[in-house]
Structure 1
């Protein structure tokens, strides 16, 4: 049996999912998501010529003669005009009075009652210390392009542009289902060969970096009827169902039979990946089903390579995913076999240092991994100091 190459598997997985509907989300709720359409300014900023400093508004041509202060302009206050020989006390953010063309900052001004004189070098010319109307943006300008990630800065700009909501994709709903008679919830007493369920909290933690809603559907025993019911139940809510365990070929590996019994169509099963060969993907109605291996490191790696890209794909958030980069290899690596390999490695002084203990069930060294070293199938040995491709994961 020829195993599906990793790039082909990812392309087929993404093809199973479609971009989610667009909604108008309140500014803070939209944080972390991606704009589904451009955002145009609904107003001009500044709406009028505003003072950039505290001081006095006057005519530059009259800077060196005594002037009469006739009023005060504060931010948000009513506008007024000055005539020849007049000036106005002004504060930062206030509208510049009609007739004034510069601001004399207060540190360079001397005042005796209503009489204002120059006490420093003064402004450099007309327009000094004035923020011109529309100098930031004008009504109708594109403030944020489609595909822009909604950051705190983007929220500020949208709010200044007159928006209270932003067009973003609905948050994907992701259900996590753990399978296996040996699993118990984290923190529960463990007897014999039972194992605490580590995959579900790990997946939820990985997904926390994306704008998604996650439900942990708990642990389902290796029972076809129970698994089939759990799959059908998830399809009533989830955009993505991700399972861990039960994806291989043993008598107790029932995820594939359960998906088929629930009416799902399996797109592919088993890929040329180490760790993570028994990866499975299919579709049940509008829900994409992604079956990850049960070994925790395999689940971790396949979640990084497949689950996160799928979730990002549904909301057009590909910018949230890491890109491969070249790294110097700290220690030599042997030749690879028939599958593409992803090796956990530490980033040490810019070098990729492969960790010992690469077994797909060994978690002890996983928190030390900053990188995944990508090695193609049938690659020759890689000596120390050679260039390898790595993906930053932490």
Structure 2
């Protein structure tokens, strides 16, 4: 079976990603308190229920008055503070003490900064320069938004600013999709659980915690399973244990060796293979299957391969299930700090360090090495067959800390 499968050419990255996005499970929508929606994606548009500011307000501390009364002097008749507006009207030769955010009283059309005047009792005298234009320090009504204005589109990721905007627009609750139930399965006879004594042939099972940490960039509920031995019946049992998960991610066993059992285990567990192998390095032996509405993503076992495919496939799949308008990672452009050698036969994702302007490739790019992965904060995309590039060349770069999205 595997010998036949190898003859099928690996899919291009974008094709594989788009096919996976189509498989994303449709999670139910729930109402969630707006302040608890960090990292979620809107399930419906958000429009303003109110106007902000509702009336002209001051952008500075000073005095509200009529511009026609320049150059003064003025008689101070009261105060307008944030939350406590002045009840009267400003007439000829009158001024009202005003604070930032306070409503500009009727009759006033100018705010004179407090540092541009001197007050002696109720008498106010101009000592500096009036604002130009005279309404410069007044925020007009609806400067930010008006009632019924669209504020946020469906699929928008909710960060701190978006949550604040929704609340300011009058929303206490927002409609978002519930968190993804994600099961992560580590498999391999060479793996030992956390804190377990290691035999000479064993290594700590680090991929599962790494993938769970990567998935935490999204609203998820993670179940960890394993390490699972390289026995078909044990891998099938692990898949059945994860039967209630929306998405299953396996690490290891997705290739074609005698001990790579994820593909036959999926078929034995009633899953249908959708596609297998992607033309990227690291991460070629990636596998995607379905079991009912459940999506199963088989990642390679080498740590750099697991991370890169988790970044390029697991995170977008989670975002798609959560309703993201644009779930795929987007690169920025950065210049090479050092020359980059020519590429090979597959698209490559090179571990690198970005300093805000230039990017430096790590000297160690082996897919089994964790040290360069821990040093990296970016992945440099090098196209298949790319020629050598000198320092200063612009290259596409994926930023790791944000999951590749803004």
**What TM-score does the superposition give when structure 1 sets the normalisation length?**
0.84
- Give the equivalent residue in structure 1 for 2:19: 12
Q: What is the Cα deviation at residue 222 of structure 1?
A: 2.7
Q: What is the Cα deviation at residue 93 of structure 1?
A: 2.3
Aligned to 2:66, which of 53, 59, 64? 59
Q: List alignment gaps of at least 5 residues for structure 2.
A: 1-6, 401-406
Q: What is the Cα deviation at residue 123 of structure 1?
A: 4.6
Call closer, same or farther: CA 1:121–1:34 in 2, change over 3 Å. same
How far, CA to CA, are the matches of 2:132 and 2:399 in structure 1? Answer: 52
- Give the equivalent residue in structure 2 for 1:225: 233
Q: What is the Cα deviation at residue 241 of structure 1?
A: 0.4
- Aligned residues between the structures: 389
How far, CA to CA, are the matches of 2:335 and 2:114 in structure 1? Answer: 56
CA deviation profile, 1:331-368 (whole Å, cap 9, x unmatched): 5746734x544444556983654634x44333344334
Aligned to 1:133, which of 136, 141, 147? 141
How far, CA to CA, are the matches of 2:169 and 2:339 in structure 1? Answer: 53
Call closer, same or farther: CA 1:74–1:203 in 2, change over 3 Å. same
Contact in 1 for aligned 2:343/2:382 (Cα 8 Å):
no
SS at match of 2:95: strand
- Give the equivalent residue in structure 2 for 1:103: 111
Call closer, same or farther: CA 1:214–1:372 in 2, change over 3 Å. farther
How far, CA to CA, are the matches of 1:97 and 1:147 in structure 2? Answer: 41
Q: What is the Cα deviation at residue 161 of structure 1?
A: 1.6
How far, CA to CA, are the matches of 1:90 and 1:381 in structure 2? Answer: 65
- Give the equivalent residue in structure 2 for 1:24: 31
- Give the equivalent residue in structure 1 for 2:308: 301
Q: What is the Cα deviation at residue 174 of structure 1?
A: 1.8
- Give the equivalent residue in structure 2 for 1:89: 97
- Give the equivalent residue in structure 1 for 2:55: 48
Call closer, same or farther: CA 1:125–1:179 in 2, change over 3 Å. closer
How far, CA to CA, are the matches of 1:161 and 1:388 in structure 2? Answer: 41
Q: Which of 1 and 2 has greater Rg?
A: 1
Which is worse superposed, 259-268 or 29-38? 29-38
- Give the equivalent residue in structure 1 for 2:223: 215
CA deviation profile, 1:309-336 (whole Å, cap 9, x unmatched): 2222223163672427576594574673
SS at match of 1:28: helix
Q: What is the Cα deviation at residue 383 of structure 1?
A: 6.8
- Give the equivalent residue in structure 2 for 1:392: 398
- Give the equivalent residue in structure 1 for 2:8: 2
Aligned to 2:318, which of 311, 314, 321? 311
Aligned to 1:182, which of 160, 176, 190? 190
Call closer, same or farther: CA 1:278–1:68 in 2, change over 3 Å. closer
Call closer, same or farther: CA 1:96–1:269 in 2, change over 3 Å. closer
Call closer, same or farther: CA 1:332–1:159 in 2, change over 3 Å. closer
- Give the equivalent residue in structure 2 for 1:257: 264
How far, CA to CA, are the matches of 2:59 and 2:282 in structure 1? Answer: 60
Call closer, same or farther: CA 1:83–1:362 in 2, change over 3 Å. closer
Q: What is the Cα deviation at residue 210 of structure 1?
A: 3.4
Contact in 1 for aligned 2:334/2:358 (Cα 8 Å):
no
CA deviation profile, 1:245-300 (whole Å, cap 9, x unmatched): 22233443332232222221111233444433332111112211011122223222
- Give the equivalent residue in structure 2 for 1:172: 180
How far, CA to CA, are the matches of 2:386 and 2:122 in structure 1? Answer: 86
Let me know the Cα RMSD of the aligned residues.
3.2
Q: What is the Cα deviation at residue 200 of structure 1?
A: 0.8
How far, CA to CA, are the matches of 2:387 and 2:102 in structure 1? Answer: 69
- Give the equivalent residue in structure 2 for 1:200: 208
Q: List alignment gaps of at least 5 residues for structure 1.
A: none
Call closer, same or farther: CA 1:384–1:214 in 2, change over 3 Å. same
Aligned: 1:154 with 2:162: yes
Which is worse superposed, 200-209 or 278-287? 200-209
Q: What is the Cα deviation at residue 146 of structure 1?
A: 3.2
Call closer, same or farther: CA 1:137–1:389 in 2, change over 3 Å. closer
Contact in 2 for aligned 1:329/1:388 (Cα 8 Å):
no
- Give the equivalent residue in structure 2 for 1:268: 275
